[in-house]
């Protein structure tokens, strides 16, 4: 019998199978905008495609179509939604990012909010869109330093994000040593622990700072936020930039429900509330203040 060569399987290149067609991109994009408020124009196709390709490889799924079924219509849909959100959000952050805000907080906002410097004060801050924790821990360092010069000062912080992946990193509070370069040597000594494992160039935020921050999941697109407290200050930096104007307005109004009269709202330096109908007015670069008396 003549030997026959096996027929080559019909293999499309991996990239071809995982390519995001314009129709699929629109479907994912509309879902992301509806769920997270994040604008998705066509220039995001390469970004979304590469992030989804990574997720497909992790799951061992053969095509974008198979992934759609897995995400939208499978028993794993709910669990996968959390992975999908973590895959599509942009979580760029740093310790002491946009540092001018931290000096404004201690030199201007805190003294202005201080009802009576002779009395105990439990200051409340919400770090909204906190990513992997660098921003809330920076604030925790700054507020702990402030407490040394203002007797009776204490603080608590709520830190929220939609991505369960970054919230897990934030709770763990372990960072590569190069991430903490913006800290001064004194801050590193005071607020970080070095890993004892050999060849492990990692640090961990000290327990005293970790205990001050409560991390919770929260989606800014929800109609109401499950937050009971009223805050003296809200940091909401580098999140709005991903939203369209109506979404920015709706989210800032919802956040301001939990901001006390006279309280401060900090946004990212490339963000602005100009043209939005919101109950805060600009008092410094990317710093806004709610109308009303600061004194309680």
Active site residue 210: no
- Taking the complex as a whole, how short is the minimal distance between the CB of residue 188 and ligand SAM, in angstroms? 19
- The single residue among 53, 163, 248, 258 that binds ligand SAM, judged by CB under 6 A, is 163
Active site residue 161: yes
Q: Which two tokens stand for residue 64?
A: 């974008």
Answer whether 290's CB lies under 8 Å from 262's CB: yes
Can you tell me the distance from the alpha carbon of 121 to that of 133, in angstroms, rounded to the nearest whole number?
A: 25
Name the residue number minimizing CB distance to ligand SAM: 93
The pair phi, psi for residue 203, each rounded to 5°, is -130, 160
In the chain, count of helices (H) and strands (E)?
12, 10
Can you tell me the distance from the alpha carbon of 246 to that of 277, in angstroms, rounded to the nearest whole number?
A: 10
Residue 24 or 89: which CB sits closer to ligand SAM?
89
- The single residue among 59, 87, 221, 284 that binds ligand SAM, judged by CB under 6 A, is 221
Q: Which of 161, 232, 237, 289 is catalytic?
A: 161
Closest CA to 170 of 215, 207, 225: 215
C-alpha distances in angstroms, 173 versus 43, 131, 159, 200? 34, 12, 13, 15
Parallel/antiparallel/unpaired status of strands 213-217 and 153-161: parallel
290 membership: H or E segment, kind and range: strand 287-290
Is residue 212 a contact point for ligand SAM (CB under 6 A)? no
Is residue 240 a contact point for ligand SAM (CB under 6 A)? no
The contact mask relative to ligand SAM for 172-191 (x = CB under 6 A, - = no) is --------------------
Is residue 155 a contact point for ligand SAM (CB under 6 A)? no
Q: Site residues for ligand SAM, window 55-114 (CB under 6 A)?
A: 89-93, 97
Q: How many residues belong to the site for ligand SAM (CB under 6 A)?
A: 24
Just list the catalytic residues: 51, 161
- What residue ranges bind ligand SAM (CB under 6 A)? 36-38, 89-93, 97, 129, 131, 135, 161-163, 166, 218-221, 237-239, 268
């Amino acid at each position: 019998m003549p030997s026959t060569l096996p027929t080559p399987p019909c293999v499309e290149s991996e990239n071809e199978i995982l390519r995001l067609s314009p129709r699929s991109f629109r479907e994912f994009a509309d879902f992301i905008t509806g769920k997270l408020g994040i604008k998705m124009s066509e220039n995001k196709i390469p970004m979304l495609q590469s992030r989804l390709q990574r997720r497909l490889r992790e799951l061992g799924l053969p095509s974008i179509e198979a992934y759609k079924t897995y995400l939208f219509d499978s028993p794993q849909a709910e669990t996968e939604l959390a992975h999908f959100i973590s895959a599509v959000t942009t979580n760029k952050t740093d310790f002491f990012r946009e540092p001018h805000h931290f000096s404004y907080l201690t030199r201007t906002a805190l003294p202005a909010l201080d009802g009576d410097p002779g009395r105990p004060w439990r200051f409340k801050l919400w770090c909204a869109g906190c990513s992997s924790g660098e921003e809330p821990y920076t604030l925790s360092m700054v507020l702990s330093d402030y407490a040394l010069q203002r007797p009776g000062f204490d603080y608590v912080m709520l830190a929220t994000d939609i991505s369960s992946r970054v919230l897990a990193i934030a709770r763990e509070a372990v960072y590569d040593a190069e991430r903490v370069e913006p800290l001064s040597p004194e801050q590193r000594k005071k607020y970080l622990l070095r890993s004892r494992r050999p060849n492990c160039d990692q640090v961990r935020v000290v327990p005293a700072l970790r205990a001050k921050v409560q991390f919770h999941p929260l989606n800014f697109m929800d109609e109401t936020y499950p937050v009971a407290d009223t805050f003296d200050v809200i940091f909401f930096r580098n999140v709005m930039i991903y939203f369209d104007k109506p979404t920015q307005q709706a989210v800032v109004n919802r956040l301001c429900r939990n901001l006390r009269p006279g309280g401060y709202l900090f946004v990212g330096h490339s963000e602005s509330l100009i043209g939005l109908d919101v109950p805060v007015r600009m008092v410094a670069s990317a710093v806004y203040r709610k109308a009303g008396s600061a004194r309680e």
